[in-house]
Amino acid sequence: MVYDWVPKQILKELEVQVAYNAEEIFFRFSWEQPDPGGWLHDMIVYQDGEWRRFDGASPWAPADPNPDEHTGYYEDRLSFFLDDGSVHGFENFGGWMTVHKGMRDLPDEVPAEDVEEHSHLGEVLERSDVRKYLPQSREGQWWENPWDDIRPQEELDQLKEDGVFLDLVMWRAHRSNPVGLCSDHHVLEYRHGDEGTNAHTTQEWGPEDGPEYMWDPDIVENGALDYAEIQNGNLPDQQEDVYWLERGDDGNMVEFDPDVAEWEGAMIPRRPLNPPELTEGSAVDWAAPSGIWENGRWTVVMRRDLQVGHVDSKDLEPGGTYTWAPAIHHGIGSRWHWVAYPYQLGLGEETDADITAVEVTDEPNWDEIPSETIPLLYPGQVDWTWLTSDEHPAFNLVRNNELGIWDFHDDPTNLAARLVGLEVQEVPRE
């Protein structure tokens, strides 16, 4: 996958229904995803006498796929940002204000060794890459955003206490859907996982020794999936078959036995899942009781308590209005996705919002909840660094938060084409 890769489809449509009752909020999403297999992710495969990690793009993701060179599976994913008005500028610019020069998978990404030597990202967070962050987490004016000029920890703590962070919720087709849980994150000076124990974990593995765990052979024959079968199109059924490893007393995994599962093409997930009873904290505030791929479409239901009382999550209340911006990944991660403009989401008819959550007394009947269809577009490589630089025609208005994306680019279809053009011309890049 090269930096200048552009997806075959630059615009996607997402159908959204939202409801709430006195205790909870509910989302139902539906979108076209024609390629099957988006529930497979990050596999370890025994090939030519050694174990290899297949964690790149799915075979259908590249614009010019080559099945003979394919070494990856990446899950489908739906995520969204949520803010209660505390993050200055987010209502106008959405997720674009979290993307900055030097981030991973951009052509100018900061070298890992530089991040590892940084006093905060490397020494405190123990990270080796730069991920999404808010410009407010850096020193200087609010639009300024050098990756390495991070505010002191006490100032970051105060920003979080004041709500100056973005809630980032992720539904993942492999890492969360099988156990009915989303993963909850927040963005401040880095994209953090929320506190607690998440659904997805990682097992150790090595090229010679293989993984720690495999499937119970009584559940999956020979303890592994067959990569050759999957490469030939015989994919595990998303609703019928087992394609994930699960921990716990009722789980489906056992310790790896090379006499059983070390054969040419044996394929085992690198990320075992925790069932709900092994998770806790704000990391799993959001449940996903239903996520089904059928007839080339995903339909996903998510729910959360309105009030969670966590410092790393946004509490909600009836009558409130919130800024909300979803995104979809398909067959590949990081910046290769489709994103929405920021929308105003209102809980109740009395709010003046773009999307209205319908009040219900108990569980929503989705046949009675109106649906909104919103466009999502490939964002290219345009980042906040460029948008606030004098290379951008409206940089002064952006810096002063006087102009939003809806004002300057009121047609997402036209903007999608423009962003691809900018990527091809390398305008935002040095």
- Residue 346 scores a pLDDT above 90: yes
50-54 vs 287-294, strand pairing mode = unpaired
HSE value, Cβ hemisphere, 13 Å, CA-based, for 423:
23
Please give the pLDDT value at position 57.
85
**What is the CB-side half-sphere exposure of residue 250 using CA atoms within 13 A?**
5
For 12-42, the pLDDT digits (tens) are: 999 999 999 999 999 999 999 998 999 999 9
Question: Rounded mean pLDDT of 232-253?
Answer: 95
Q: Between vectors from CA 226 to CA 220 and to CA 227, what angle results, nearest 5°?
A: 140
pLDDT band at 65 (very low <50, low <70, confident <90, very high): low
SS (H, E, C) 92-155: HHHHHHHCCCCCCCCCCCCCHHHHHCCCCCCCCCCCCCCCCCCHHHECCCCCCCCCCCECCHHH
Strand partners, 264: none
- For residue 3, the model assigns a pLDDT of 42
Measured at the CA of 94, the angle between CA 164 and CA 316, to 5 degrees, comes to 55
What tens digit of pLDDT does each residue of 199-224 get? 999 999 999 999 999 999 999 999 99
The C-alpha angle with vertex 315 and arms to 311 and 321, in degrees rounded to 5, equals 135
pLDDT confidence of residue 424: 75
pLDDT at 66: 65
Q: Map residue 340 onto helix, strand or coil.
A: coil
Q: Any idea where the domains of the chain sit in the sequence?
A: 11-39+76-200+283-425, 40-74+202-272
417: enclosing H helix or E strand: helix 412-425
Indicate the average pLDDT of the chain: 93
Residue 2 has pLDDT above 60, yes or no: no
Q: Are 379 and 420 in contact (CB under 8 A)?
A: no
Strands 191-193 and 183-187: antiparallel
Q: Confidence band (pLDDT; 50, 70, 90) for 68?
A: low
Closest CA to 315 of 347, 267, 276: 347
Between these two residues, 318 and 70, which has the higher pLDDT value? Answer: 318
Evaluate if residue 67 carries a pLDDT over 70: no
What DSSP character marks residue 277? Answer: G
Q: Find the range with the poorest average confidence among 44-48, 61-65, 87-91.
A: 61-65
Q: Is the pLDDT of residue 305 over 90?
A: yes
Query: What pLDDT is stored for residue 1 in this prediction?
Result: 37
Say whether pLDDT at 322 is over 90: yes
Distance CA 274, CA 257 (A): 22
| pLDDT exceeds cutoff 70 at 86 | yes
Contacts of 19 (CB under 8 A, 6+ apart): 25, 26, 357, 358, 359, 360, 364, 369
Determine the average pLDDT of the residues in 61-71: 67
Cα separation of 184 and 196, whole Å?
10
Provide, rounded to the nearest whole percent, the portion of the chain with pLDDT above 70: 96
The predicted model scores a pTM of: 0.95
pLDDT digits (tens, 9 = 90+) for 251-285: 999 999 999 999 999 999 999 999 999 999 999 99
DSSP one-letter string for 37-56: TTT--SEEEEETTEEEEEBS
Three-class DSSP category at 322:
strand
**pLDDT computed for residue 427 by the predictor:** 62
